[in-house]
Amino acid sequence: MNVLLIGGVAAGTKAAAKLKRENRDMDVTILTKDRDISYAGCALPYYVGGEVESRDQLIVNTPEKYAALTGVRVLTGREAFSLDAKGKKVQVKNLEDGSSESYGYDALVIATGASSIVPKMNGAALKGVFKLRMPDDAIDMRRYLQESGAGKAVVVGGGFIGLETAENLKAQGLQVTVLDAAPQIIPGVLDPEMAVYAKRHLQKNGIRVFTGVMVEELLGDSRVTAVKSSAGTFPADLVVMSIGIRPNTAWLQDSGLEMEKGTILTDGELRTNLPDVYAAGDCAMVTNRITGKRQWSPMGSSANLEGRMLAQVLAGEKKNYPGVLGTGVVKLPGLNCGRTGLTEKAARDEGYDVETVLAVTDDKAHYYPGAANFVTKLIADRKSHKLLGMQVFGPGTVDKMVDIAVTGISMGAVLEDFDQMDYSYAPPFSTAIHPFVQAVYMLENKLDGTMVSMTPAEYLAGAADEFRVVDASTAPQIPGAVYVKLEEVNGPVDGLGQEEKLLLVCAKGKRAYFLQNRLKHYGYTNTVVLEGSTFFNDVKVKGVKATVSPEDITRVKGLGFLHDKNTADRFNARVITRNGKITADEMQAITEGAKKFGNGEVTMTSRLTMEIQSVPYENIEPLREFLMDAGLETGGTGSKVRPVVSCKGTTCQYGLIDTFAISEEIHERFYKGYHDVKLPHKFKIAVGGCPNNCVKPDLNDLGVIGQRIPEIDMEKCRGCKKCQIVENCPIKIAKLENGKLSIDPEACNHCGRCVGKCPFHAVTSYTNGYRIYIGGRWGKWVAKGRYLDKVFTDKEEMMDVIEKAILLFREQGITGERFSDTIARLGFENVQEQLLSEELLNRKEENIKAEKHLTGGATC
């Protein structure tokens, strides 16, 4: 049997390999347009972000390796352009020499996949505009990032790939904006209130998101500089077009294949309407496993499953593809998102009598280090209790939650089937009652009336407008709400009417439910629990000015907004000026931002950053967006590398090095490059242009000081009675000994003031370099840094030592201690030895990936 497969990424290679395992005598040939086969398309954003380091890691198999491993014949550089179903032939163009070739078949598998949609608009061909579908797309984008010095990126499209790309661009230190034409991100995949939560999370983590925005054109001469849209113009050094994909089926338009919106229609065996022609993967239309209706689900997972099953069908086995659930999972900054099955809207559209619940649960034992939460939405049929879909957020393993739902839905499970499931439990992994089962219990309670609740979607729509808010938290947290301490409710509560509409709210929903249970017992008939409570919802009492929670104060502090403790909701915004140097345009933006979003005042900090004073909490995100448009950012707090400070360097009469340029380079490499790396405490770096130490490099965790090392030409020294070198030495260590000039190299601070002062040119030559101080600090406890014995004359070697110091602090520091404490504990000589060797750099990857210093020690 001669099987011809067109396309060699997921479905094609999986089907071909399985065919040869099923029947080694089959003649199996793959034709593919590209030079790469079986590549990891889902890994492309992570290659851009550096998580996947090399191109080779993207390629699962080369054609040669795959052919040797499987016995499949692989021909690359072949583009199919015509199908003759009656003659059982495919016409192909050889892309290497332009010739036409014809290939016959007994069975044909079309697995041509899909390609990125690149809209026809002005500027789409500019440099710096990318799609992300093939390995070379990711390679080109990462190379462009490295070579162009791009600082701002716009991602057009808020789907899975767009958001993964946004996260990875942010990890590379770019300011990232996501634009989507739909009214929400991840449209059709998440329900609207879930998308709002994800959008809010992205914005809190520094990624701007604008929905309902149409992109009109890309601006720039040779390189892209901005994106013009219906919401205004967004500056951009790099643009990623991620607005969707379309099946690669244009070549089949006149073949007689039945297609719908470019996808090939298939049956349960993945047959098309043409004899002996099959389709699988991103080009094929399959069915929804729940509804049985047609559904296009271009996912790498389903493509592999389809390819494997199709091979079994071709080998003579009785198999039927049951369809897809649209299962997906995506990694966002600090938050993972998963889903499967029907959305609430899709379930209603299918005629189901829908009930939902949103549950906030622990993701593992609450006392175990690293414990966090799952936010789980379950969708079920009210009459049959059949599980129809789920969506989940959490910083941890949301995939295990999704996979439980996939298994249940696929087996037609009803909610009660999960009640006594014997899921695995140990404190590092889960809770005693599994978090999925806890969510099921909540939905069962809601269905049988044990719990009366309001969904976040209903709350957003204004369903709580007529309700009085009751705060059931462990301590009052909702301004204007009636606070009721659950533990003290042993009868009717003073001030609460038993017929009054009461919205019960707490941190996550559990205490609110317990309170409802008690109040029902004491005759309260109109209580409603807000699902997700304040963890998920932005709960406010009408007419009451909200205070800011301690959690939010901590969160925005990480964004560079420090709470003014004399106020309830005012913050001072630290604007990073890199090294104290800003342009006139940036200054104008800062002052305009102060007027528009603060009280109009700007102060300077001792670290040469600027603070916009008295910014109301609700103005924080608008101010950040305003500053981003001007190329500015806020931040510089927490247990991390801080923004670098420098003196004026060579613009000062004594400056020996260009401190602005060096500090800018240090800022990009270590403040931005290490922005998400947690340290035991803050790590401050200062760059001084000479030994005058104007910016106190020796009082910082690490300091760099410009050096000019004089070289004495003894043959030119005349031993003058009044030596100009001796006279001009500011620290008086130059001396005449036995009629000749002498400068003690151990005592010289290398200020360079003596160079050129000898009229007989005895001191005209010198070597420029850098001295590195480590372990300084200023504050409640002062420590003067000590310099390394070596004066570094190579800038790259000096930069490597800075990186080694940061890595040593992360690896060997104790959470809460400053670098000076670490050095004192380890010993200066030990630290110096490590900084002058390469071992710390050799362990860099392992060090960075380790979960260390989860709390950190910085307080400001």
Q: What whole-number percentage of the chain has pLDDT above 90?
A: 75
Quickly state the pLDDT bin for 857 (edges 50, 70, 90). low
DSSP letter string, 221-247: SSB--EEEETTEEEE-SEEEE-S-EEE
- Phi and psi of 730, rounded to 5°? -70, -20
pLDDT digits (tens, 9 = 90+) for 519-559: 999 999 999 999 999 999 989 888 777 678 788 888 888 88
pLDDT digits (tens, 9 = 90+) for 7-44: 988 899 999 999 999 999 999 999 999 887 877 778 88
Amino acid identity of 253? Q
Considering the chain, what is the average pLDDT of its residues?
92
Predicted pLDDT of residue 600? 94
Quickly state the pLDDT bin for 856 (edges 50, 70, 90). low
With tokens 């990186």, the residue in question is: 803
Q: Does position 66 have pLDDT exceeding 80, yes or no? A: yes
Q: Which helix (H) or strand (E) holds 148?
A: helix 135-148
Contact in structure between 503 and 462 (CB atoms under 8 Å): no
Label residues 311-331 b or e (16+ Cβ within 10 Å = b): bbbbbeeebebebbbbbbbbb
pLDDT digits (tens, 9 = 90+) for 599-613: 999 998 888 889 999
Q: Does position 797 have pLDDT exceeding 70, yes or no? A: yes
Predicted pLDDT of residue 858? 66
Quickly state the pLDDT bin for 860 (edges 50, 70, 90). low
- For range 166-191, the mean pLDDT: 91
- For range 226-246, the mean pLDDT: 91
Query: For residue 127, how many other CB atoms are within 10 A of its CB?
Result: 13
Contact in structure between 48 and 163 (CB atoms under 8 Å): no
- For range 560-565, the mean pLDDT: 92
Q: Does position 841 have pLDDT exceeding 70, yes or no? A: yes
Q: Does position 673 have pLDDT exceeding 90, yes or no? A: no
CA-based radius of gyration for the chain? 33
Q: Does position 780 have pLDDT exceeding 90, yes or no? A: no
Structure token pair of residue 684? 């401050």
Q: Does position 593 have pLDDT exceeding 90, yes or no? A: yes
Quickly state the pLDDT bin for 444 (edges 50, 70, 90). very high
With tokens 């490590």, the residue in question is: 834
Predicted pLDDT of residue 577? 85
Predicted pLDDT of residue 546? 67
**Domains plus CATH for the chain?**
2-114+247-314 (3.50.50.60), 118-243 (3.50.50.60), 334-447 (3.30.390.30), 453-536 (3.40.250.10), 550-629 (3.30.70), 638-709+767-860 (3.30.413.10), 714-763 (3.30.70.20)
| 42 among known catalytic residues | yes
Q: In this predicted model, which residue has the larger pLDDT, 439 or 608?
A: 439
Cα gap 296→302, rounded to integer Å: 10
Q: Does position 306 have pLDDT exceeding 70, yes or no? A: yes
DSSP letter string, 708-758: EEEE--TTT----SS-HHHHH-TTS-EEEETTEEEE-TTT-----TTTT--
The number of angstroms, rounded, from the C-alpha of 216 to the middle of its chain's C-alpha atoms is 27
Query: For residue 439, how many other CB atoms are within 10 A of its CB?
Result: 26
Distances (CA, A) of 511 to 10, 223, 443, 514, 634: 48, 56, 16, 5, 37
Cα gap 122→775, rounded to integer Å: 54
Predicted pLDDT of residue 859? 58
Least confident range of 380-389, 548-557, 635-644, 850-859: 850-859
pLDDT digits (tens, 9 = 90+) for 369-415: 888 999 999 999 999 999 999 999 999 999 999 999 999 999 999 99
Which among 253, 327, 247, 256 has a CA at the least distance from the CA of 288? 327
Query: For residue 746, how many other CB atoms are within 10 A of its CB?
Result: 6
Structure token pair of residue 488? 């003290």
